[in-house]
């Protein structure tokens, strides 16, 4: 499936996502405040689930067409995720979470995206709703469609001068939280960290921030981001290849 990420992100950020009414017999209501939690998978960026680990999705037209085209037949497998009281956050930013009235119940939203459960997911961790009808997508912890793991395009060999530059950027910008040797401190341990293999996700995390990590896109240029991501991807037992400034520019 071809994922038109920039176009889809534009759709989401426009605030034009539809609110599909509750169908008769929908089982989305809960007896206590809903929970939005962070989940990880080797196959996707960090994404959000409910408090029981069930994957949450949002409706968005990948082709830029009418996002309300999911009719009653299309909606039969989807249940709005609703909350009794203010939703709770678990390892995600509380400010991303809100609710909107949907037929008299409060449907949970994440970065203004209405959230749904997929009836085809039978247990926690299932993600079979991803990409259904080119309309339904998991939601990343950044409030965007959670992209499948995809390596950045080949940026060529890891050059020594880039590693030196990246080490300098890391020492002044990252080491205080992640440790001088990637051993972790206030931030994630980067030594032997397999998720660094997802270069696209790493670049976007550096640019946009994540949880307590600030967005560095406004303070680092493309060459600096490319250098520091190349450095952490190829230090402390990591061997995941280079990132180029062009790839950073494309991710902004």
117-167 confidence digits (pLDDT tens)? 999 999 998 989 988 887 888 998 888 877 655 445 567 899 999 999 999
Produce one character per residue of 195-214: b if its CB has 16 or more CB atoms within 10 Å, e if not: bbbbbbbbbbbbbbbbeebe
- Under the banding of pLDDT at 50, 70 and 90, the label for residue 64 is very low
CATH number of 160-251: 1.10.760.10
* Residue-range domain boundaries for the chain: 5-138, 160-251
Among residues of the chain, what percentage have pLDDT more than 90?
Answer: 49
Is the pLDDT at 170 greater than 90, yes or no? Answer: yes
Is the pLDDT at 247 greater than 90, yes or no? Answer: no
Q: Determine contact, residues 118/27, Cβ cutoff 8 Å.
A: no
Pick 59 or 79 by higher pLDDT.
Answer: 79
Q: Enter the tokens of residue 20.
A: 């599909």
Mean pLDDT of all residues in 18-25: 48
- The confidence score (pLDDT) of residue 142 equals 84
- The confidence score (pLDDT) of residue 43 equals 64
Q: Determine contact, residues 6/144, Cβ cutoff 8 Å.
A: no
- Under the banding of pLDDT at 50, 70 and 90, the label for residue 9 is very low
**Tens of pLDDT along 190-243?**
999 888 887 887 888 898 887 678 889 999 999 999 999 999 999 999 999 999
Is the pLDDT at 65 greater than 60, yes or no? Answer: no
- The confidence score (pLDDT) of residue 34 equals 95
Pick 249 or 16 by higher pLDDT.
Answer: 249
Select the highest-mean-pLDDT range: 5-9, 33-37, 133-137, 201-205: 33-37
Range with lowest mean pLDDT among 51-55, 92-96, 147-151, 244-248: 147-151
- The confidence score (pLDDT) of residue 7 equals 32
């Amino acid at each position: 499936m071809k994922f038109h990420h920039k176009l889809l992100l534009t759709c989401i950020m426009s605030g034009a996502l539809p609110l599909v009414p509750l169908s008769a017999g929908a089982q989305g209501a809960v007896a206590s405040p809903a929970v939005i939690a962070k989940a990880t998978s080797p196959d996707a960026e960090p994404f959000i689930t409910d408090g029981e680990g069930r994957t949450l999705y949002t409706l968005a037209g990948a082709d830029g067409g009418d996002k309300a085209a999911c009719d009653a037949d299309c909606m039969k497998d989807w249940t709005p995720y609703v909350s009794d009281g203010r939703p709770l956050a678990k390892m995600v930013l509380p400010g991303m979470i809100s609710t909107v009235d949907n037929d008299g119940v409060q449907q949970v939203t994440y970065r203004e995206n209405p959230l749904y459960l997929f009836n085809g997911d039978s247990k926690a961790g299932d993600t079979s709703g991803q990409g259904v009808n080119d309309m339904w997508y998991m939601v990343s912890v950044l409030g965007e469609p959670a992209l499948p793991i995809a390596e950045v395009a080949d940026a060529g060999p890891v050059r020594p001068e880039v590693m030196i530059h990246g080490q300098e950027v890391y020492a002044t910008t990252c080491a205080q939280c992640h440790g001088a040797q990637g051993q972790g401190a206030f931030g994630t341990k980067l030594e032997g960290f397999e998720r660094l293999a997802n270069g696209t996700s790493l670049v976007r995390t550096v640019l946009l921030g994540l949880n307590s990590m600030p967005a560095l896109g406004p303070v680092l240029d493309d060459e600096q981001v490319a250098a520091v991501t190349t450095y952490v991807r190829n230090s402390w037992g990591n061997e995941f290849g280079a990132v180029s400034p062009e790839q950073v520019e494309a991710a902004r």
